[in-house]
Structure 1
Amino acid sequence: MDLSTTILLALFCLLLCLSAFFSASETALMSLSKIRLIHMLEEKVRGASVINLLREDPNKLLGTILVGNNLVN
C-alpha cells in the first residue's frame, strides 16, 4: 500500500469517527429529559451544567450539530 492510500484510509477513518460523534451527540442531547437533567444538576454530575447551558437554546444546538455532521459527511 502506498502513502497516498494510507493517508486516504486514515482520513476516511477520522471522518467516520467524527460523523459517529456528531450523530451520537445529537441523539444523546436531544433525548435527555428535563427531569433527568435536573436530577443530574442536583447530584452535581460533572458536565451537567454544560449540558444545561447547551440545552437552553435547542434550535442553535441542533443546527450546530447538523452542520458539523454535514461537513464531515
Structure 2
Amino acid sequence: MPPRYRYEEIADDLQKRIEAGEFRPGSRLPSRRELTAHYDVTTPVIDRAMQILRVKGITETLAGVGVYVRDTSGDS
C-alpha cells in the first residue's frame, strides 16, 4: 500500500469525526489556526484537507466566514 499524505489522513479523520456526529450538519468546523495546532501541520496541509472534503461534498466554504458541514440528508 503506498504511503499516504498527511492531508489525506487529516481529511479522513475529519470525515470520520463528522460521520460520528462530532460536527453536525450546518455546524462550523474549527478554524484553520485551530486545525493546524490540533494536527501539528502547516496551513497548506489543512487547506488541502479542506479541499478534499469540499470536493467530496462533505463541507462547504463560505468566504471570510468559515467551513461548514453540509447537510446531505436531502441529497439523492
TM-score (norm 2): 0.31
Higher-strand-fraction structure: 2
Q: Of the two structures, which has the highest relative contact order with CA contacts closer than 8 Å and spacing of 6 or more?
A: 1
Q: Who wins on radius of gyration, i.e. which is larger?
A: 1
- The TM-score with structure 1 as length reference comes to 0.32
